[in-house]
Structure 1
């Protein structure tokens, strides 16, 4: 059984962004996400793509009860008043044909617009539209996905040994992303492209997923936020009542008292400056 957060009452944020869950794969950390959702509520919950991994499910069926529990938990939040907006990504691109429709209290949109508490307009988009490999060499994206799956399998075995030795989790793919020059350049270029698109369209910032690298920072006057993933980093992007955005990590929230949970990643936060409601852009 996975360890759980020690909070007794759910922590409430104004908004939560989650992406790249990859339900339907063995790499998905659904139990951890379920625990996170149990302990965190928000007025707005944005599912920023690759929630379900259609690529892997087409090859072989994998769906644990915990994956079903995550879906049920999200539907329950929608029934209880959370505004849930689902922006499909490339792995769950089949859902894009339903853009503009609402199902079970969940609004499916090609992209969305969120207004922070301090008046900033944020573009919500998965981000694969700005990945040249996805757009122009999809076969290479499939190959990369298979290699990534292999790395995750190796990583699970390695980290099982580390856990038996009392050592913390260590991510091989995250290490490679940070060390391999081309990967670093790709991430930097991706962030610049997304920030540039937000600026071109008159937004104050952008929130995306896709590259599995949680981040919130200023890029030439534009707020760039990435909600990370629930395969390795186990991260989400949250908005505090004052409009401040922050990346939070499930692993860092473990065992922390409720009053300290908001400062789990102090370096990954950004102050924005008062505001309307969140709206969806069809």
Structure 2
């Protein structure tokens, strides 16, 4: 554990799609990340615990408990922790607008950055209808994803034997499959549309395991990625700049957005209040 003097400090951090309880969760890298940072607000943007996977086959590595304990300790030590349940941990949506063990639970939330920009926070499964072509493709996609993660797991074991760093084979393959790219683009378009609808400057989500920052039609789209394939998180700097970090054997800033010059929509009187789920 790093000392407080060594830790990077951020006004806000976003992580999602950790999938604790799933064998391919990279809890080791996440623990290293959480021990290296401090933040005023830690946002858990869904699929932190993979209840779906645990119903199929129970799996719980000791490091998965350590992740939960680390988050709980941050909450106990003064970090505000806001949890937006996803589809894999949707059971916790029964506790919307309540506080569990010092952690606030919301359906969605508005974060106001240090640059006074308003970001809508959602997990992203509300946008599934924009990316599903038919049931057959959906089923094939699930089976194909399991195969991708199998290949990802073994390719990195081999890379480690030869002294290589962690690298996401799964993401590399997905980026080259036409249907996958098409689905990702459709998801991003749906998220940007929702941000416009809710009159905010940007949107932060997870769900599709595709980390990215981009600006489209004056809306900042941010996806914090996951801790299965990519090991990524979003962080806000003191000036309001948002960065996308990769955290495995190597630590890299993948992308960033200086949002201070982006024109803001008209501000509402409720700009910092949690909002109900999108229709």
TM-score, length-scaled by structure 1: 0.87
1:97 is matched with which residue? 94
CA pair 145-24 structure 1, distance change in 2 beyond 3 A:
farther
2: CA distance, partners of 1:20 / 1:112: 17
Are the equivalent residues in 1 in contact too, given 2:165–2:249 (CA < 8 A)? no
1: CA distance, partners of 2:36 / 2:166: 22
Which one of 190, 196, 200 corresponds to residue 193 of structure 2? 196
Which one of 141, 153, 156 corresponds to residue 153 of structure 2? 156
What is the root-mean-square deviation in Å for CA atoms of aligned residues?
A: 2.7
Which one of 258, 265, 271 corresponds to residue 271 of structure 1? 258
Are the equivalent residues in 2 in contact too, given 1:88–1:126 (CA < 8 A)? yes
2: CA distance, partners of 1:86 / 1:188: 26
1:64 counterpart = 2:51: no
Which one of 220, 223, 228 corresponds to residue 225 of structure 2? 228
124-133 or 159-168, which deviates more:
159-168
Deviation of 1:253 after TM superposition, in Å, equals 4.8
TM-score, length-scaled by structure 2: 0.88
For residues 229-248 of structure 1, the C-alpha deviation after alignment (integer angstroms, 9 at most, x for no partner) is 00121000010011000101
Are the equivalent residues in 1 in contact too, given 2:166–2:249 (CA < 8 A)? no
Are the equivalent residues in 1 in contact too, given 2:131–2:186 (CA < 8 A)? no
CA pair 5-134 structure 1, distance change in 2 beyond 3 A:
farther
1: CA distance, partners of 2:215 / 2:58: 40
Are the equivalent residues in 2 in contact too, given 1:46–1:84 (CA < 8 A)? yes
181-190 or 12-21, which deviates more:
181-190
Which one of 35, 42, 47 corresponds to residue 45 of structure 1? 42
Structure 1: stretches of 5+ with no match in the other structure: 255-263
Deviation of 1:76 after TM superposition, in Å, equals 0.7
Q: How many residues align?
A: 269
CA pair 123-60 structure 1, distance change in 2 beyond 3 A:
same
For residues 138-177 of structure 1, the C-alpha deviation after alignment (integer angstroms, 9 at most, x for no partner) is 8965663343233212321222112212233332321221
Deviation of 1:129 after TM superposition, in Å, equals 0.6
1:258 is matched with which residue? none
2: CA distance, partners of 1:19 / 1:145: 19
2: CA distance, partners of 1:133 / 1:73: 35
SS of the equivalent of 1:12 reads strand
2: CA distance, partners of 1:182 / 1:273: 35
2:181 is matched with which residue? 184
Are the equivalent residues in 1 in contact too, given 2:205–2:223 (CA < 8 A)? yes
After TM superposition, list the pairs within 5 Å mapping 1:1-282 onto structure 2: 9-132=6-129, 141=138, 144-251=141-248, 253-254=250-251, 264-265=252-253, 268-273=255-260, 279-281=273-275
SS of the equivalent of 1:268 reads strand
Structure 2: stretches of 5+ with no match in the other structure: 262-269
1: CA distance, partners of 2:237 / 2:68: 24
